[in-house]
Chain A
């Protein structure tokens, strides 16, 4: 799964620092994401995970350091040992390869569903309207909303809006897709339908994904690497397998215990309950709906 050695990473953070006023959110952060990687960032809130996504999308300015996309500098470059800001035009060009799905969907309420999806392909990429509509219809079909193309975003449920937002991001054919807590604003019973669609996308494409989520089951199913953040630093990283079955750091264990442990037995969903050695854990946990079991292809509950 990991990119072969020597290949240019899709995303590289080099000595990235981010401050908001006096608060240091990220301090000298270094990491790379290989092409085709699915990396999930986990950690307590305020640990800087979302800031990382927002920096990649240029929604925030980085205080110091560099971010590279496909080996090209995103916002700043080092020229003769000096750190210089790049022109907005350059940023826009690089940005076109990156898509993002937001926690609050952020669909444009002044446009219908299909207009939301074709807006950027037509007006940013210069695609013909016919082609864009054809593509958008395909994507709407993929997210199970083929019958909603003329609806207004606010007429849709939260889950439906988020599915449209996923289609809107995919319509730009991004090389990198950023998923920022895409299910946090949704009712628990519709989380599965959205995650199911993203799993399909992960399985059927080679888009590089950088994911911030609290859905540990989803992180486990989709990603091939997990980074645990705390206080703006990477505390631990590993494959989901290592990470969830045998976390090395105490802080990771504490975090996992706090977010996903069964509230009654204290057992992690993928581990036997303590004190009940040998017996398997309860099959389902109330806090994390399993994406594999609750999702259908079209994602519609009825």
Chain B
């Protein structure tokens, strides 16, 4: 038992290196995924059938072909075609494209869920379609899409574990190393707990974003109120009071 913790203490710097790699992949992959999601999500609702078809094809392709296949394609095939990519870059690329395709559907669906009246009001105010999307529709769609994006982010974090297949020393790789000096149960429990804590922190961050986004739409309390310890009823009361 003690030797387990001793081994853990000795391995801690390496494990933290692994956590750092995992975090870089998660954040980099998520940023790339968001960029792809917004681009494809907007293209997938264009009227032009060529544009829409192109976006749909990309979305279905990256959703349908499996993350591991995409990772291996970038890692094993591209070098043979003369394109050498850094493993970290390959990891971020595969994660970003795969989860970006999933998130594109979330973006598209959320934009479509913004009530019809909001679109009509922008027409009545003669806004251009760019103004309408940027200033009215997207800010409202954003609040709708956060819960699904939050789920996808956790999937993405879990998905980063596959980069150990392409020789990257991420958290999974380091935990596998730790197993040699400790017993199996100990090493993997530590690994799972670290992943769980990371996932939990990401969930909290996304929840905060959601509270903030909803507050901007005049629904629910502000982030500061949500984080304060006293019971947060005031935000709702203000809304109800005005109804009298």
Contact = CB atoms under 8 A, between A and B. Distances in A.
Contacts of B120: 57, 59, 102, 106
Question: Interface range on chain B: under 10, 10 to 19, 20 to 34, or 35 or more?
Answer: 20 to 34
Contact of A102 (B121, B135, B139, B242): B121
Given A106-B117, A106-B118, A110-B217, A123 B123 contact: no
A172 B125 contact: yes
Could you tell me the dominant secondary structure of chain B's interface residues? helix
Interface in A40-98: 57-59, 92, 95-96, 98
Nearest to B235: A155
Contacts of A98: 124
B239 interface: yes
Contact of B217 (A57, A106, A152): A152
Interface stretch (B65-73, B101-109, B126-134, B174-182): B126-134
Contacts of B121: 102, 106-108
A44 B140 CA distance: 35
A154 B216 CA distance: 11
Most buried by B among A92, A152, A160: A152
Contacts, number: 78
A123 B127 CA distance: 8
A105 B121 CA distance: 9
Nearest to B128: A92
Given A154-B239, A155-B238, A156-B242, A110 B216 contact: yes
Nearest to B240: A155
B209 to A, nearest CB: 14
Interface of A: 57-59, 92, 95-96, 98-100, 102, 104-110, 119-120, 123-124, 151-157, 160, 168-169, 172, 178
B126 to A, nearest CB: 5
Nearest to B244: A157
25 contacts: A57-B123, A57-B124, A59-B120, A99-B124, A100-B124, A102-B117, A104-B117, A106-B117, A107-B121, A119-B127, A119-B136, A123-B127, A123-B135, A124-B125, A124-B127, A151-B218, A152-B218, A154-B218, A154-B219, A154-B239, A155-B238, A155-B239, A157-B244, A160-B242, A172-B126
B230 interface: no
A155 B242 contact: yes
A172 B126 CA distance: 10
Nearest to A104: B117
Contacts of B216: 110
A96 B244 CA distance: 35
Nearest to A172: B125
A153 B121 CA distance: 14
Contacts of A119: 125, 127, 135-136
A153 B127 contact: no
B224 interface: no
Given A109-B140, A110-B217, A157 B242 contact: yes
Contacts of A92: 126, 128
The 4 closest A-B pairs by CB, nearest first: A152-B218, A120-B125, A106-B121, A154-B218
Contacts of B125: 119-120, 124, 168, 172
